[in-house]
Amino acid sequence: MLIPFFIPHSDHSELAVKLVTYAKAPPPDDWVLVEQKSISIGEASSRKLLTALRTRLAVAESGEAGNFLVIRVAEGTAQLGTHDPAKVAAALTKVLSQDEIVQHLQGTELSTELISAFRGAIRLNEMRTAVSQLRKLLDEGEGSEPVYQDWCEKHSWAFGNAYVLRDEVREISTGDALDLMLPSVIAGYRDIVELKRPDMPVLYYDEPHKNYYFSADVSKAIGQCHRYLDVLHEVAAKGLRDHPEIVAYHPRAIIVIGSSRQWPEDRLRSLHGLNRRLSGITVMTYDHLLAQGERLVEMLGPKADSAPDFDPLPGDFNPFDEDIPF
């Protein structure tokens, strides 16, 4: 039992606490509780006890075993001990989900090691969420092209290490509006992305000749990209009008169309071969894009708990792998 009481002083009253344990009296009075032991502690010690109890109570109420890190809210300090800073940051980012709190982290005095871990964990968490969103769209059979365009605009990193940003500019000439324009990290020159629906066919099989060939939808997209590439090279070789910072010198194009889930090995191999024989254009499916995003997340984070049910990438599918800076 905890019994609080006050100790009067000349200038103030001090709060003290008496901790008492009780035990049953010996028979025949075992129905009576008698004081067994007691200890009194002053105000300073009582406050420390209260802080410790609150901390332990938070852990006890979690309902599961695990490793815990105590953070002093008033002081903003914590002893990391043997905890991996990256894992600590990953755990904290799940708690600090409010935008206003995350914004304040930018001005907080933290160690360089913890700041790097925070930034990496936040970025990795965003990428994981984005990959999950794309996987859900594909699993649910979402077929709206604008939905995927919105996703690609927000997560252009999924197109590979060669690209980290996207341009806001889309219209390169009258009547020619691109889906995406991406600057490469090495040269800074622009390449383009043309998005089609994931329910469009990609390859057909020619039984008499025993070979795969592009569908009409893919062929139309290739022709469309050839026009865009010609126009973009012409109007932006030395900088796009009104946007001189956008330079496209012999640009290349990525077409994202259809699905390759459940494709047999020979079909994947055929797409790889057809791509190798195209000049400046690569055709990939939305499953390729998803797998590419998953691989980037896997490269940046700890080893994934489980592998995907299928591997839609025929080898190393980075569209323009010579631009990978590492």
On average, the pLDDT of the chain sits at 80
Mean pLDDT across 267-291: 95
Looking at residue 35, its pLDDT comes to 78
56-68 average pLDDT score: 67
> Which range has the worst mean pLDDT, 120-124, 180-184, 210-214?
120-124
- Of 54-58, 127-131, 183-187, 216-220, where does mean pLDDT reach its minimum? 54-58
Residue 164 pLDDT level (bands cut at 50, 70, 90): low
What is the per-residue pLDDT for 183?
Answer: 86
Confidence of residue 252 (pLDDT cuts 50, 70, 90): very high
Which distant-in-sequence residues (6+ apart) come within 8 Å of 37 by Cβ?
A: 20, 21
Residues 6+ apart with CB under 8 A from 247: 188, 189, 190, 236, 237, 238, 239, 240
Split at pLDDT 50, 70, 90, the class of 134 is very high
Identify whether 28 is preceded by a cis peptide bond (ω within 30 of 0). yes
Check residue 213 and give its pLDDT.
97
Predicted confidence (pLDDT) at residue 103 exceeds the cutoff of 90: no
Residue predicted with more confidence, 324 or 285: 285
What ranges do the domains of the chain cover?
1-66, 80-140, 143-323
pTM: 0.62
Least confident range from 98-112, 128-142, 312-326: namely 312-326
pLDDT given at position 230: 93
pLDDT of residue 313: 45
Q: What is the DSSP string of 274-313?
A: HHHTSSSEEEE-HHHHHHHHHHHHHHHSSPPSS--S----
Distances (CA, A) of 142 to 136, 157, 251, 311: 9, 21, 30, 21
- Confidence band for 166, pLDDT divided at 50, 70 and 90: confident
Q: Give the model's pLDDT for residue 273.
A: 95
pLDDT of 239 above 70 = yes
Give DSSP secondary structure letters for 118-167. Answer: HHHHHHHHHHHHHHHHHHHHHHTT---HHHHHHHHHH-GGGG-TTB----
Most confident of 23-37, 97-111, 278-292: 278-292
What does the pLDDT average to over 242-255?
Answer: 90
Over 70: is that where the pLDDT of 115 sits?
A: no
Residue 140 has pLDDT above 50, yes or no: yes
Check if the beta carbon of residue 272 is closer than 8 Å to that of residue 312: no
- The stretch 130-159 carries a mean pLDDT of 94
